[in-house]
Amino acid sequence: MKHPTDNNGPDVFQPIHNPYIVGNPISDQKMFFGREDDFAYIQKKVGGAEKGGLLVLCGSRRSGKTSILFQVINGRLGPDFLPVLIDMQAMAVENDLDFLIKIAQGIVDAVGDSELSVDKHLLAQAEESSFAKFEKFIVRVNQCLGARKLIILFDEYEIFESHIEKNLISTRILNLLGNWVDYKGGAFIVFTGNDRLDERTAPYWSSFLTKALYRGVSYLSKRDTLRLIQEPVQGSVRYQDGVPEQIWTLTAGQAFYTQVYCQMLVDHLNERREYDVTADDIQQVTDEIVENPLPQMNFSWNSMLPMEKIALSIIGEISRDEAKPVSAKDMIAFARAQKVGYDIDPSKLNE
């Protein structure tokens, strides 16, 4: 691919399009890199289940869980699966029936069969119980699916707890979901959240504990991080040898921070009217991020325990001149030598 200066001449700067996304999940397939093993795992578990099932994608905030769901919605698993995304944070509900109607409408929209409707196949059912109505609705849905498998994706499952505590929905909703995954032809449900269900203190999840599978969502591999750094701006940005690896070292493959870094780097190049990235540019962008952190960074920092903040600060001090791994032993030795006044528990560091 030609570089912009090949056509415009060395003195004409053509602004670089900034493709990097910060603050929102990644829906564009061209900007999503890696996670092939996660999709293969989901496809295997969903495709191989005779009944329904429950998979919990666990990971810290901004680790990429919701972006994985968006890719599933975009057909990443293939034509044999029918995914339905339920955004728990965006969905306002008033009661159990309201919740079931909104799930049903999401399914109707995904199925795309003009003969299937919420009014006809849910609300018009003769049963008095809204749960009985919903079960009959699912029978009709299964008739429309053919050989496809229904996957219900619930983003931020912890919101179930707050809805129950506010009396917006009852625990019968969770009982219905638990029963739904148990029978032949049932849906496969995917939750995303920070924790495993067995780590939650709320008692609502007891019926799910023996059903749930868990998959941790963590950092991108080095290969996929380097692809995210280079491929979206290929033909526009030229990296000095070793610079992409330097960005990978700084972000450790954390998808959100890699997007942040690359977005700010493209802005930096446009401001300077340059296409070439050197180690000096990396240092300038690093300084800018540290001096003017994003709100998401401030939130993450403020959410940390005191020991976590101290540990990260020590890592920063030890790695000030050279980015390198820092062991728990190194952190404890540094804290004692500098008399930080905080007793660091080695067992907690290793968690």
pLDDT the model gives residue 121 = 74
CB-based contacts of 141, cutoff 8 Å, min separation 6: 107, 111, 116, 121, 150
Give yes or no for residue 344 having a pLDDT over 80. no
Q: How far apart are the first and last CA of the chain?
A: 46
Residue 350: how many CB atoms within 10 A of its CB?
8
pLDDT digits (tens, 9 = 90+) for 8-37: 555 688 999 999 988 788 888 888 888 888
What gap in Å lies between CA 12 and CA 3, rounded to an integer? 12
- 217 to each of 190, 198, 334, how far by Cα in Å? 13, 17, 31
DSSP three-state, residue 11: coil
DSSP three-state, residue 150: strand
The three-point CA angle 150-153-156 to 5° equals 165
CATH of region 35-216: 3.40.50.300
CB-based contacts of 160, cutoff 8 Å, min separation 6: 88, 154, 169, 173, 174, 204
pLDDT the model gives residue 282 = 95
Task: Find the farthest-apart pair of alpha carbons in the chain and give their distance in angstroms, rounded.
Answer: 75
CB-based contacts of 30, cutoff 8 Å, min separation 6: 19, 232
pLDDT digits (tens, 9 = 90+) for 255-309: 889 999 999 999 999 999 999 999 999 999 999 998 888 887 888 888 888 888 8
Give me the residue spans of the domains in the chain: 35-216, 304-351
pLDDT digits (tens, 9 = 90+) for 92-124: 899 999 999 999 999 999 988 888 888 877 877
